[in-house]
Amino acid sequence: MHGLLLTQTKWFHNSNLTCLIKPERVRSFGFFFEKMSNIGLAIIGCGRVGRMRGKIASEFPGVSWIGLCDINEEVGKELKKDINADYLTTNYEELINREEVDCVIVATSTWSHFEPALIAIENNKKIFIEKPLTLDAKQSRYLIDKIIEKNIDVCVGYTQRFRRRFISAKEKIESNQIGDITCAVTRTFMNKMGPMNELRLTQDRKYLTPMVVSGTHSLDMSLWLINDQPQSVFARSSDKILGEMGTKDATFGLFTFNDKIFSMNICWSLPKIWPGASYGLQMGFVGTHGILDIEDTHRDVIIVSDFDQGKIYRPKGREDEIDRHVDFLTSFPPGDIYNNELWGPLKDETYSWLQRICMELNTPHTQAEVAHQNLMLTLAMDLSAKTMKEVDLNLSEEEIMDRLNFENK
């Protein structure tokens, strides 16, 4: 069992309160737990992200049952032991159909979200899906139609929305502190270990592009802050470094709106020795009454050591990758490790989603419909880069996939 039966001191967090609760003091917080329902959670995919989500969920007071699924049974067994999960299988349909399951986290590989998500939707579960929703716009549209038909709550994992700097920026923009936004720019740099780790797992790489896989994070954040939808995009890509692996090095694009412009670019082919676990992000928003400039390159906390610092993207069997002795601390998007615990946005995002379910709280999660729109925009950038033409963003899902498939031949 999980939740309130924990025997150690745990952190409990909600949108307005963070407090240290010991089991013997739980009763004194009865007012807080009155509205909390106990839930059974299924986690599909026990890899790096599924493991982090599972560890966090096992410490949440409202989670009373956890079931796990992974196609690699040994990976599943390891996580089951570590978090004292209640059930393990290699069949996600079997797990989702269990009567104990109220909600589902889909943390499978980037290209394999569709099938488990669809089964969970058809079984009326509340769902959290890691980004992107899918890689195929038609599959994504199908999921959205099912979600609307079933009227269920589905969130998608855009973890950066739970970082303090972006929440603060959102508040300033919404309170009109810089006026109406006229232009915006976003630049993302990434070490190539990330995409290489993603690409090694599949040979079907045609949609595993910088924008669809990773740029979607900064796109989601930018449009969340801009609070508007573009009308067209013009983009270009390069492939001198990662082209032989079936993907692009970088994609730069310009989105046009009715009354503003937005420059969006990402390069995920920096050398392996480049410091920083993942995103180095710069964002700027110019308004009619001010400017909001966000420096998120993590260069304010740097470590230089005789010891290797970079094991974030080293799966088993690839531990002999190049050593990295300089690192930008706080650059790992999910957060930071202290005392074998993960602290930061992924923990906040996971706790907040569980509170959304258990206590019906309003949270800043990306809804599935927005995640679908993000996918459409990233695919449109790839289409523009392939055709070297401006792309109208009124394209249907069928049109954009047909044109991309034609260009990929």
Give 215-259 pLDDT, tens digit per residue.
999 999 999 999 999 999 999 999 999 999 999 999 999 999 999
Q: Are residues 268 and 154 in the same domain?
A: no
Buried (b) or exposed (e) across 208-228, using 16+ Cβ within 10 A? bbbbbbbbbbbbbbbbbbbeb
Query: In the prediction, which pLDDT does 330 show?
Result: 83
Q: Are 191 and 317 contained in the same domain?
A: yes
Are 282 and 219 part of one and the same domain? yes
**What is the side-by-side strand order in the sheet with 63-69?**
87-89, 63-69, 39-44, 103-106, 126-130, 154-157, 366-367
Q: Supply the CATH number for residue 7's domain.
A: 3.40.50.720
Q: Is a pLDDT exceeding 70 seen at residue 144?
A: yes
Domain membership of residue 136 (yes or no) is: yes
Q: Which of 194-203, 291-300, 396-405 has the lowest mean pLDDT?
A: 194-203
**Cis bond leading into 61, ω under 30°?**
no
402 inside domain: no
Q: How far apart are CA 282 and CA 289, in angstroms?
A: 21
pLDDT above 50 (res 310): yes
Confidence tier at 323 by pLDDT (50, 70, 90): confident
Instruction: Give the model's pLDDT for residue 409.
Output: 64
CATH number of the domain within which 249 lies: 3.30.360.10
Residue 311 pLDDT: 58
Which residues are CB-neighbours of 34 under 8 A, at least 6 positions away?
Answer: none
Q: Name the residue range of residue 64's domain.
A: 3-160+349-366
In a domain, 182, yes or no: yes
Residue 217 domain flag? yes
Q: What is the pLDDT at residue 326? A: 86
Q: Are residues 268 and 183 both part of a single domain?
A: yes
Q: How many domains does the chain have?
A: 2
- What percent of the residues of the chain are helix, what percent strand, and what percent coil, each to the nearest 5? 40, 25, 35
Query: What pLDDT band is residue 36 in, cutting at 50, 70 and 90?
Result: low
Q: pLDDT over 90 for what percent of the chain?
A: 71
Asked whether residue 256 falls in the same domain as residue 178, the answer is yes
237 and 147, same domain (yes or no): no
Name the residue with higher pLDDT: 337 or 124: 124
Whole-number Å distance between alpha carbons of 246 and 7: 49
Asked if 19 and 100 sit in the same domain, the reply is yes
Q: Which of 35-39, 171-175, 242-246, 373-377 is the least confident region? A: 35-39
Q: What are phi and psi of 277, to 5 degrees?
A: -70, -30
End-to-end CA distance of the chain: 52
List the beta bridge partners of residue 336: 343
Q: For the ranges 30-34, 105-109, 200-204, 341-345, which has the lowest average pLDDT?
A: 30-34
Q: Of residues 356 and 1, which shows the higher confidence score?
A: 356
> 266 phi and psi, to 5 degrees?
-145, 140
Both tokens of 221, joined, read 């954040």
Closest listed residue to residue 379, CA positions, set 354, 351, 404: 404
